[in-house]
A and B are shown apart, each in its own frame.
Chain A
Amino acid sequence: MRESRTLGSVADLIRSKNAGPFWMTLDIFCGTDADYEAVAAPGTIEPRNIADLYGVPPDDVRIFHLPNLRAIKVSFPRPVTQGSFTDRDIHAGQQHTPLTRLTIGQTR
């Protein structure tokens, strides 16, 4: 049986935040090299998966790998500008939850 692990169960820390009023950024920190390699391997943190989770165009998603920090950064334009009428999270500090549910190694 194939082992199915979520990002939230593997990463040490997953956080979200504004990067200015027009962008949002998500950081994933892993505690071990093995966990980082599992998370960073192709098939998990891919523009298409992020686009599905957050309802944004895949072409807008930027992904950065920082092996020295065992970290991956994901950034994309905010679907709604910070503080506009339909904004639900002024600091975008609670937007990481959907990402924690992403299954490792499975392109959706």
Chain B
Amino acid sequence: MSDARDVNVIFPTGMLGGGFPAEGIERGIELGADAIAIDAGSTDSGPYYLGTATAKTTEAAVERDLHVLLTSARAADIPLVVTSCGTAGTNAGVDWVAGIVDAIAREEHLGFRLATIYSEQTADSITAALAAGAVTPLPPAGPIDPKVLRSCEHIVGLMGFEPVADALAGGADVVLAGRATDTASVAALALMRGLPAGPAWHAAKTVECGGLCTTNPQSGGVLVHIDGSGFTVEPLDPNSACTPTTVAAHMLYENADPFRMREPSGTVDTSQAAYRAVDHRTVRVEGSRFEPATQHTIKLEGSAIAGYETIALVGIRDPQILTDIDTWIDTLDAILTDRVCALLDLDRTDYATQLNAYGHNAVLGALDPDTATPGEVGVLFKARARDQATATAIAKIANPLLLHLPLRAASHLPSFAFATSPPEIERGAVYEFVLNHTVDVASPVELFRTETVQVSHA
């Protein structure tokens, strides 16, 4: 059943910097791993990271994970592929990870061929694509205005497997890629060997969160074997297991559609896939399909500054206020609106405020089915304006209301519990995802730029 094209890939964890046991990597290599792949990014933590081109993970955690992976991969002489470097996959994110890799190489006296793949796009190039009719909105987005493109602090395109496969075929030992689909690295390792696309992409999707497709997601990553008729997956931790249910259920995770998943070059279809237990901890999957697209498309992500924010947190414990907390909030909001408009000469459209009552309904708002009187509430006040000074001015106008507003006219002036002094906390610029679009490309690699260097610290 095994042939020379088969590939075994270690996928250690869902996020570089998330941590994993080093023994798992050692075990995967003993079991015959041909490569290590890991993803370092996601949009899941919000638009800030793309907007600022900074990472969610701290350098020490990324350094720790890369230290294990780089030294293991070099000792075994197998490639290491990191995609979506620096959380958002910006050029700065790739360079940041490359700097960490270089420092480890220096410390460990390593030499290898390093490919960096950049995926940032300019507003001008996407504007030209828009003018040429090559930009398509994805639901629920509508068409975009070129102004939106120019408003983006950073725009990235999500590469498919092709730029990664080209870098590996060119002899790279370590590939550090900008924004890529979660599946690009594992798919590249399989597809460049001529393995069929259905199992390659489905295997890649199954392992993209490391141990999340196992019975113990905290135990570390997985080893996946991809061959001509399917794939087989097992946890790196001998005490954890993959079962047909844990593997199949992973297709539901963070996916709007559990059967069909779009990649730049086509659509993975898992609706006919069969999941079978090989033993008590290994699962075999066959029957996954891939439908090549007639048009190759690259998904875009863009983050723009949406304003500047100042927040304040006040605690309310007085049962009388809590019996009618919604009225307290509505009253505060109405008085604040009058004062802000009068004192700052602002129009209601120039700024926005929010009062979210944690302990009451901050998370669900009007959708909250639970209407019981809370025992304690933390009201998070948020002010957003076009500049920081205005946002803080609004928060300072809110300050005496957050501190003292009675529920109804009373001789006694209550005081509530501010969490900090000063209560106003400046959050700086805040960001929004503004692109949910794809761009048609003639070549799967044309939006991406690869640089290859020889790292020589041996």
Contact = CB atoms under 8 A, between A and B. Distances in A.
A20 B258 CA distance: 14
Given A88-B362, A88-B365, A98-B367, A23 B256 contact: yes
B298 to A, nearest CB: 15
B431 interface: yes
B367 A22 contact: no
Contact of A94 (B258, B363, B370): B363
Interface in B423-458: 430-433, 436
A73 interface: yes
B47 interface: yes
Contact of A21 (B47, B245, B257): B47
B22 to A, nearest CB: 29
Given A18-B44, A90-B46, A85 B254 contact: no
Contacts of A95: 364
A83 B433 CA distance: 8
Contacts of B382: 85
B384 interface: yes
Contact of A85 (B352, B362, B367, B370): B352
A64 B47 CA distance: 29
Contact of A60 (B140, B249, B254, B367): B140
A82 B47 contact: yes
Contacts of A53: 367
A49 interface: no
Interface in B254-291: 254-259
Contacts of B356: 88
Contacts of A22: 138, 140-141, 433, 436
B306 A84 contact: yes
A23 B262 CA distance: 15
B45 interface: yes
Nearest to B47: A83
A77 interface: yes
A24 to B, nearest CB: 8
A60 B256 CA distance: 12
Interface residues of A, number: 38
A83 B434 CA distance: 11
A59 B306 CA distance: 30
Contacts of A44: none
B46 A19 contact: no
Nearest to A65: B258
Contact of B256 (A55, A75, A81, A86): A75
A88 B364 CA distance: 7
Interface of A: 17-23, 25, 27, 29, 53-55, 60, 62, 64, 66, 68-69, 71, 73, 75, 77, 81-86, 88-91, 94-95, 97-98, 101
Interface of B: 43-48, 138-141, 245, 248-249, 252-259, 306-307, 352, 354, 356, 362-370, 382, 384, 430-433, 436
Given A21-B433, A21-B436, A73-B252, 20 more contacts: A19-B256, A20-B43, A20-B254, A21-B47, A25-B255, A55-B366, A66-B248, A75-B256, A81-B432, A82-B43, A82-B47, A83-B431, A85-B306, A85-B307, A85-B430, A88-B365, A91-B44, A97-B364, A98-B367, A101-B369
